[in-house]
Amino acid sequence: MKRQLKANLPLLISGCIIGILIVVSLYLLRPPAPEPGIDLVNIPFYQLPFGPDENGAERPFWPSRLQTDNGRLVDPSKIQSAATCATCHQKEFDEWAPSLHAIAGRDTVYERAVEANENLHRDGIERARFCEGCHAPGEVLAGRTNRFKSVMPSDAETEGISCVMCHTATHADPLEGNGALTLAVNTGVDQLSNPMILAAPRDHARAFGAAKTNALIASADFCGGCHTENYDQSMSKATTRQHVQSTFVEWRDSWYAQNDITCQDCHMAPDPASYVRQIRDGDIRKPERYAHNFVGANYLMFDTSLGSNLTWLRGGILPGLTKEQNTRLIEKQGTATSALLRAAAGLALKGSHITDNRLVFDIAVQNLGAGHNLPTGVIDQKYMWLEIVVSDANGSVIYHSGSFDTERGQTDPDAVIWREDFRDSAGNRIPDHLTFITAEITHLRKGVPPKGEDIVTYDVALSGDNTGPYQITARLWYRVATQEFIFNTLKTDLIVPPFELVSATFSLPADKKVRP
């Protein structure tokens, strides 16, 4: 053997062996790391009024189905704040910060609705884990949804659905819903210092973006964990399971699911409205990237004309944002929200006939762009209605249905409305989203399914003075809250403006003009 090899080979081999021995020894000799997370017994006065599960295990987050991977609560100081993530991921933070996900746990409408529910029941605060599991998972996982606030707050808990709440997910059950997500927030994250993250960013990415997590959060199943909501006896008066929000199932049974167009494709596209119109045109290629805006339908939370009221409605300004940044980002998100809403629906005249004294016509309300029902989600406050104005050849209005009173914020009670109603045990409608006393869910009219339509027939009486052609103006409106809900919950006379999804004019008899 050559002498250089003779001299160095033992060094190479021994270097490798010693290196391995050092690593193995450190691994074996180091004191066992404490199990990450907080044990239930270390949260003073934590109440478990719902008892154990069928296997006898404690259910610290019930009635939310949210779980941590090791079953332990989370140390709030260990939950990375989105503002911290923004140190490097500024673009993603700027996309997420104005989103509904960011304010899910702090927006005033939600907060007041939770308080109203909490006051309904002796175990109201514990029952509110049902709401907070999806709206403020950090609060629930840290054990702060407790009548005695025995856990210190942290920025991350106020950030609603923050970075770690998605990027640590390991399991989702979209059919059970009610927050049926398992998060490796105790074990799947690193606590590396910033210089170390910068030195080995791939390790940081692998900690937060394990292959299993990345695959899960790119799927509709993940969204279904929260965008499926069922009421049972744990949190309501329902004696049988009541389906309150079925967005996942609506999507699963749709053309979109069959063509692998997921929630993320539309709601995380850089320009969601353009993407939806692309899909409408038959081009089902995936977006070029996924943004973290999660553009949805709640236009109110981006209505900057509300001024300081908007900041109040949004529950203040998130950590990591200045007022100017906040306004700029909200305006941008508001534009995207409006555009997305306008890409969702269509109106068509399906049939008509005129007799001597009747004008009968069918208006089709079409779901052209939403991969779920229109409207979807929990629609006891959110609702959609159709406004129809018929005028004769002289321009005289001979029929008007679905008007909106801008002074009182009331929709014509006789309008055709798509809404679900919460009902108490006596069958009375509950207008205030009081989950804990809801016994049954009924629908005035169910949402229009994806690529489907709902045909509404109008029968208008004509008098001898009316002469054609008749002009029908149809407007499809969406509103994120009923006025009674806003008044009862917020104790304010703030009028929630409706949003015009689409409008169209038709002439009878004869041609059709559509104004998208």
Partner 1 sequence: MSLIRANSRMQVLTYLFALLLGTGLYLEFFAGHNWNAGETVLLFHLFVGLIFTVLFLVWVASHIKQGLATSQRKIFTGLSWLLIAKYILIIATGWLMVVPPAIYLTGKIWFWQFETTYLLTFLHLWGAVTAMIGLVIHLGLRHWCNPTPHSNRGEK
Q: Can you give the binding site for partner 1, defined by CB under 8 A?
A: 1-16, 18-20, 23, 26-27, 30, 33, 87-88, 189-196, 198-207
Q: How far is the CB of 10 from partner 1 (least distance, A)?
A: 7
Smallest gap from Cβ 245 to partner 1, in A, equals 35
Q: Nearest-CA neighbor of 378 among 129, 110, 97, 175?
A: 110
Q: Which residues does residue 367 pair with via DSSP β-bridges, in sequence order? A: 345
Nearer of residues 66 and 207 to partner 1, judged by Cβ:
207
Evaluate whether 273 touches 342 at the Cβ level (below 8 Å): yes
Nearer to partner 1, 194 or 492 (CB): 194
Q: How far is the CB of 31 from partner 1 (least distance, A)?
A: 12
CB of 439 to partner 1, least distance (A): 48
What does DSSP say about strands 228-231 and 383-391: parallel, antiparallel, or unpaired?
unpaired
Residues 6+ apart with CB under 8 A from 106: 136, 158, 160, 314, 315, 316
Q: Which is nearer to partner 1, 77 or 308 (CB)?
A: 77
The CB-of-507 to partner 1 minimum distance in angstroms stands at 57
Task: Pick the closer one to partner 1 by CB: 15 or 509.
Answer: 15
Task: Provide the angle, in degrees to the nearest 10, between the axes of the packed helices 323-342 and 272-280.
Answer: 10
Shortest spacing between CB 101 and partner 1, in angstroms: 23
Q: Give min distance, CB of 43 to partner 1, in A.
A: 24
Distant-in-sequence, close-in-space partners of 320: CB < 8 Å, separation ≥ 6: 81, 82, 83, 86, 93, 97
Instruction: Give the list of residues 6+ apart from residue 339 with CB closer than 8 angstroms, or none.
Output: 271, 272, 273, 274
| C-alpha torsion sign, points 150, 156, 158, 160 | negative
Neighbouring residues of 343: CB distance < 8 A, sequence distance ≥ 6? 272, 273, 276, 277, 280, 368, 369
Strand-strand pairing, 67-68 and 181-183 = parallel
CB atoms within 10 A of CB 511: 8
26 vs 57, which CB is nearer to partner 1?
Answer: 26
Measured from the CB of residue 214, what is the shortest distance to partner 1 in angstroms? 13
Q: Which is nearer to partner 1, 124 or 209 (CB)?
A: 209
- Within 10 A of 408 (CB to CB), how many other CB atoms are there? 10
Of 39, 319, 9, nearest in space to 157 by CA: 319
How far apart are CB 167 and partner 1 at their closest, in Å?
Answer: 14
Burial state string for 276-295 with b = 16 or more CB within 10 A and e = fewer than 16: bbbbeeeeeeebeebbbbbb
Strand arrangement of the beta sheet that strand 169-172 belongs to: 67-68, 181-183, 169-172
* Residue 270 or 497 with smaller CB distance to partner 1: 270
Q: From residue 66, how far is each of 84, 123, 221 by CA, in Å?
A: 24, 19, 14
Q: Which is nearer to partner 1, 20 or 48 (CB)?
A: 20
Nearest CB to partner 1, comparing residues 225 and 320: 320
